Amino acid sequence: MARIVLGIGTSHTPMLNCGVDEWQRFIERDSLRAHLDKEGRPASYADLLRNADPRMGELIRRDRLEARHAAAAAAMQRIRDTLKAARLDTLIVVGDDQNELYHEDNLPSVLIYRGETIRNVPLRGGAGPQWSVRASARYYEEASPRDYPVDLALAMHLIRELMEREFDVASAKSLPDGQGEGHAFGFVHKRLMQDNVLPVVPVFLNTYYPPNQPTPRRCYRLGQAIRAAVEAYPGEARIGVLASGGLSHFTVDEALDGEVLRALKEKDAPALQSLPKHKLNSGSSEIRNWICAGGALEHLPLTWSEYQPGYRTPAGTGTGLAFATWS
């Protein structure tokens, strides 16, 4: 039978697409954007700065940033090496869409892509400072669009099996004209696979946008159903599951991130399914992708993880940089 033999969790923040000098410049964006505090309440940058940990000045010293940057780069390389060594037939990628392909006129809670290929398109234009645009561009092709392989047979099987298991899954067999995959999936192709291209099955979760965000319980059970569907797939196949995104951002919440990683490592399904929804909004909503992966990977031990609290401003904004493998 087909088997899920590898799990991966990885942040995909633009911080991983640029150097330490650019990390220090994120204040240009963070000081202007709307935020949520650690309790999920709306907050301004000034609010966060006023309530920031008094040690934040030490935590964003240049040497601390360099150490975290190096650790994150090493973690990404470890994932690349693990992915290449696993000899997978297909990688199921669980990610979110941030008004890239799906919008308020049609915003599915769960969608599986079933085209024969999925296109990655170079970034054209881009808003904000040039350093920020360059970081965003690294999710995408540099010169011309490229079509990446999709495991159409497995995608169709997952859709049918999930429908049988009472998940009302949306599907799409193509992308809008001129558009390509979003950053959660482009990160996997451009920053992790590189020269080791594998067929994928893209699974989109609407982590970000009310009113139809799947609950933590629904995400976990979807992961369980994906594993059951894979194991019902005829023939022999080595399948991987990758959660793209997270952990907490744009306000780093080390306690929340630590609880997520603990629960994943200890197979604490009740804890994952009961994570407070009011903390899973904005960037932290991508933790739902990890919850889904946790459900799919119940049978595999979490064998390695790396976590760096990616603080980048005096207000404690940034990203909880997290990486993990199950095997």
CB 159 within 8 A of CB 124: no
When pLDDT is cut at 50, 70 and 90, the band that residue 291 belongs to is very high
**pLDDT digit string, tens, across residues 49-100:** 999 999 999 999 999 999 999 999 999 999 999 999 999 999 999 999 999 9
CB distance 290 to 260 below 8 Å: yes
Tens of pLDDT, residue by residue over 199-209, are 999 999 999 99
Distance of alpha carbon 265 from its chain centroid, rounded? Answer: 18
Each residue's pLDDT tens digit, 246-286: 999 999 999 999 999 999 999 999 999 999 999 999 999 99
Q: CB neighbours (10 Å) of residue 104?
A: 7
For the question of whether the overall pTM of this predicted structure is more than 0.75, the answer is: yes
Q: What is the pLDDT of residues 106-164, one digit of tens each?
A: 999 999 999 999 999 999 877 778 889 999 999 999 999 999 999 999 999 999 999 99
How much is the pLDDT for 94? Answer: 98
Q: How does the average pLDDT of the chain come out, rounded?
A: 96
Q: Beta strands 117-120 and 146-149: pairing type? A: antiparallel
Helices and strands in the chain, H and E counts: 12, 12
Q: Which domains does the chain have, with CATH numbers?
A: 3-326 (3.40.830.10)
User: Residue 317 is encoded by which pair of tokens?
Assistant: 């904004």
Q: Comparing C-alpha atoms, which of 205, 259, 234 is closest to residue 92?
A: 205
Indicate the SS3 state at residue 316: coil
How many angstroms separate the CA atoms of 260 and 15, rounded? 21
Structure tokens that stand for 58 in this block: 């030490």
What is the arithmetic mean of pLDDT over 288-305?
98
Q: How far apart are CA 154 and CA 313, in angstroms?
A: 43
Distance (Å, whole) CA 327 – CA 325: 7
Phi (first) and psi of residue 260, to 5 degrees: -60, -50
For residue 310, give the nearest of 247, 243, 267, 264 by alpha carbon.
247
